[in-house]
Structure 1
Amino acid sequence: MSATIPGPDGRPRCRWCAAAPEFMPYHDSEWGFPVDDDHRLFEKLCLEGFQSGLSWRTILAKRENFRSAFLGFDFDCIARFMDADIERLLQDPGIVRHRGKIAAVVNNARHAQELVKQEGSLAAYVWRFEPKASELSPPQTASVSAASIAMSKDLKKRGWSFVGPTTVFAFMQAMGLINDHAEGCVIRDKAAAARATFRRPTSIKRI
């Protein structure tokens, strides 16, 4: 089976785009392009956690609702959420009403604040785990990697939750830490070009 399908313009795209009509614009404009914005990175880690046991289509359809419920994934604001806020969110039909996952966002927001104090930004921390080209598997042949395992273990050690290695790998794919677009996908070269000119954020921490 081919790893690509024809897009609406007749050019090839990753096969997974065929699963839902809303996947195509997400694939073409977001997935695999490098991100250094702390709120977007935190959002994606949270949404990947919510996706656990569900489909990305479900989460993507509710993404704007999640953004509203979690104040644009501003972790400084979310860190101030109390038990009453968790109970309120459990009544919100626009999001996935899972107590553990909602509580994890609040917990992780507080730990994100700690990371920013230590590293200067969440982006600086995340991009320290960008794998070398020699460590990569062929596109879309893996669901976990040495880099995602390492980042998952480190986040868990810091107190984060719902950040298993598979969740972190999906996060890395989406946020451009790797270019996992299929060979032949018309967006693969665009993502590669974006990664080539992307300025990796640096940590204030001396390693």
Structure 2
Amino acid sequence: MQTQDSTAATTGTAAVTTGAGTTGAGTVLCEDGLRRPPWAARDPLLREYYDTEWGMPVRDEAGLFERLVLEGFQSGLSWVTILRKRPAFREAFAGFSPDAVAGFGDADVARLMADERIVRNRRKIDAAVTNARAVIALRTEGGLGELIWSYRPEQTPQPRTMDEVPSRSPESEALAKDLKRRGFSFVGPVTVFALMEAIGVVDTHLTDSHRRGSSGVWTRETVT
């Protein structure tokens, strides 16, 4: 739990960190008649996130930067903690504008370290600033979205239970190395895989979840 690549730090295996337990479990039949993974079945905020956002395609620079930063801040914590703090994060980090965050200096870092509404971790704050600058540098090479989506695999996982949801992949390992080579920080292969799940690069919804295949990125043949 102390490293950025802890399995429990991924959104895809959030049952480990949300108190839902039973990582080997399949979907839960909820009171609305829909099936969801255990991590999304209990907490209303996680359910809303799962039903409307998690796994849906994100390609714009600011949206990708936000999710990259938040995945880094989530390392060692539960995802629901980050979701609850997301409005404060957005305010503190200038709406996750890479240009704005790239200009943060010592006074901004001190401000963030004093902001009790967010996760006050100096390494993660420094990484957010570093990554903003790396995002800007990538613009001359097609941008962050083009880089991340170029690592979309030929097939997506087909997990029936939480035990079958991977925490990393060859593509996430390769993308993590590529991001580090380009100056990004806090981008280990597990954190990167969680990002890929969250933005639809892979579909790790359990096979009988009502959200399986909902992103439109994967055809029915590749998700069933």
**TM-score, normalised to structure 2's length?**
0.82
The 2-side partners of 1:196 and 1:18 are apart by 24
Give yes or no for the alignment of 1:103 onto 2:126.
Answer: yes
For residues 75 and 4 of structure 1, the distance between their equivalents in structure 2, rounded to whole angstroms, comes to 37
Question: 2:157·2:202 contact (CA, 8 Å) conserved in 1?
Answer: no
Partner of 1:180: 204
Which of 207, 214, 217 pairs up with 1:195? 217
In 2, Cα distance between equivalents of 1:189 and 1:138: 11
In structure 2, C-alpha distance between the alignment counterparts of 1:163 and 1:42, rounded to whole Å: 12
Distance 1:156 1:19, change over 3 A: farther
Instruction: Report how many aligned residue pairs link the two structures.
Output: 192
Distance in 2 (CA, whole Å) between partners of 1:187 and 1:138 is 13
Aligned to 2:153: 131
Does residue 57 of the first structure (1) align with residue 80 of the second (2)?
Answer: yes
Asked if 1:24 corresponds to 2:44, the answer is no
Deviation at 1:2, TM superposition (A): 4.2
Structure 1 residue aligned with 2:106: 83
Which deviates further from its counterpart, 31-40 or 164-173? 31-40
How far 1:19 moved relative to its partner?
4.8
Query: Alignment partner of 1:180: what SS?
Result: coil
What's 1:35 paired with?
58
Q: Which blocks of at least 5 consecutive residues in structure 2 are unaligned?
A: 1-23, 220-224
CA distance in 1: counterparts of 2:106 and 2:206, whole angstroms: 43
Contact kept? 1:3, 1:183, Cα under 8 Å: no
Question: Could you tell me how far 1:123 is from its partner in structure 2?
Answer: 1.0
Distance 1:94 1:67 in 2: 11
One-letter amino acid matched to 2:181: K
Percent identical residues: 47
Paired residue type of 1:17: A
5-14 vs 26-35, which moves further: 5-14
Q: What is the CA distance between 1:15 and its match in structure 2?
A: 2.1
Deviating beyond 6 angstroms after TM superposition, the runs of 4 or more aligned structure 1 residues are none
Q: 3-state SS of the aligned residue for 2:166? A: coil
Q: CA deviation at 1:142?
A: 0.7
TM-score when scaled to structure 1?
0.88
Deviation string for 1:53-77 (max 9, x for gaps)? 1110111110111011001111011
**C-alpha distance in 1 between matches for 2:102 and 2:117:** 21
Match of 1:93 in 2: 116
Counterpart code for 2:187: V
